[in-house]
Amino acid sequence: MGRYAQIIGWGKSVPNHVLTNEDLARIVNTSDEWIRTHTGIRQRYIATDPRETTATLAIKAAQEALRVADVPASRLDMIIVATASPEHIFPSTASLVQDAIGATRAGAFDLSAACSGFVYALSVARGLIVSGSAEYVLVIGSETLSRLVDWSDRSTCVLFGDGAGAVLLAASEVPGGILSTVLGSDGSGGNLLIVPAGGSRMPACLETVASGMHYLKMNGREVFRFATRVMARAAQEVAEQAGLTMDEVDLLIPHQANRRIIESAMKQLKLDESRVFINIDRYGNTSAASIPIALCEAIEEGRIKQNDHLILVGFGGGLTWGAAAVQWSVPLPLPETPWWRAAQRSGSFHMAQMRSLGRRALRRLQGITVRSEEGNGRQPQPILEESLQKLRAHLWKVKTSKEEATSSEEKTT
């Protein structure tokens, strides 16, 4: 019996703040006309609230994907976050997502392949599922590149936007899902799209900050030339591997970096706009989030139906590129979720938050107890012991009610 990796859930999240081309023209020497004609972008979403981060956007998109699939977070085996703007160098953004959504059984890691990251992550997830190592894998592309952009550099700051998109992959015996993937890299072009400082090669210091080396630098013309070369080729290759001709492809979902790059790929692949999804005008380039955000919008707009063949294709820093051929298996549109089901799912996410807070508090108290035991060989203070006991009881309660909720959900499914 074959084993396939099917997309069964999806979700996206963007910050509230919209930055239009007119807004940008007040910050740098540019114009709406230049940005529209050179890139196709009209506006983008920017995380202006410091509490909104790559992780918080990823968490919202992940929760939505789990809601759509109606799968509890406790069933996840792996969480992969593709991002070029991770929350930290470590811990991984994926681990923060794992904790926030209460994926207590899941492993978690970040994947760095810039704008190609989401397709790379899909490929890894498919491998985990098809090999039998995982049943459920959550794949997220999430970015706040606005935090790495030099807002005085008009050649880059007009291009990028923030956001996140997620898909839930599940093991299935139904043929279809991710049919094939193609990944590539040409590190000789690494310098064409780079954040030079902040890593181990050039650690952040006063000089790197003063010279703006912690900002994203790009050779736009070279990246443009590279993109127009690899996009169509990767799409063609992945279709061939899946046994599809371009005529059999119902929808191409390309990385949204520049409308002219997408149009060049369309021309090379002989696809008209009815078979290509473009939303760059509203989002700008959201890097690893752009393909999953576009996938969600294509579903919302009724552009995807059961058994459609899709090609997802991206390129980016590294240099990297990647494509995935997908046979869509979920019937669309989805039936309405009953209110109580949605409430149950939200409840489980609140429970995850409480669990996380409890674990942090327990760790702190344990630390204090151990220190006080070690210091001067004194006995632990009774007050701390008492607090620890209370906290353990609280965590036990959270765990039991969560297990009850999960088992009642499983019974109803």
Q: Which residues bind ligand ACO (CB under 6 A)?
A: 30, 34-35, 38-39, 84, 114-115, 154-155, 158, 193, 218, 220-221, 223-224, 227, 257-258, 285, 287, 316-317
| Minimum distance, C-beta of residue 285 to ligand ACO, in the bound complex (Å) | 5
- Helical residues (DSSP H) of 32-158, grouped into ranges: 32-39, 54-69, 93-101, 117-130, 154-157
Q: How far lies 247's CA from each of 86, 107, 235, 272, in Å?
A: 38, 39, 13, 11
| Minimum distance, C-beta of residue 406 to ligand ACO, in the bound complex (Å) | 39
| Minimum distance, C-beta of residue 386 to ligand ACO, in the bound complex (Å) | 53
Quick one: 58 or 351, whose CB is closer to ligand ACO? Answer: 58
* 234, two tokens: 């990767």
Quick one: 285 or 344, whose CB is closer to ligand ACO? Answer: 285
Quick one: 31 or 407, whose CB is closer to ligand ACO? Answer: 31
Neighbouring CB atoms inside 10 A of 210's CB total 8
Torsion region of 317: left, alpha or beta (phi above 0 gives left; psi -120 to 50 gives alpha): beta
Nearest to 160 by CA among 177, 176, 143: 143
User: Would residue 255 show up in a list of annotated catalytic residues for this protein?
Assistant: yes
User: Would residue 115 show up in a list of annotated catalytic residues for this protein?
Assistant: yes
Quick one: 317 or 358, whose CB is closer to ligand ACO? Answer: 317
Quick one: 140 or 304, whose CB is closer to ligand ACO? Answer: 140
Which of the following is catalytic: 21, 157, 214, 255?
255
| Minimum distance, C-beta of residue 160 to ligand ACO, in the bound complex (Å) | 7
Which of the following is catalytic: 21, 285, 296, 309?
285
* 262, two tokens: 């997408």
Helix or strand holding residue 237 (H, E): helix 220-241
| Minimum distance, C-beta of residue 267 to ligand ACO, in the bound complex (Å) | 16
Q: How far lies 101's CA from each of 5, 146, 351, in Å?
A: 22, 25, 9
What burial letters (b/e) apply to 224-254, b meaning 16+ CB within 10 Å? bebbbebbbbbbbbbbeebebebeebbbbbb
Residues noted as catalytic? 115, 255, 285
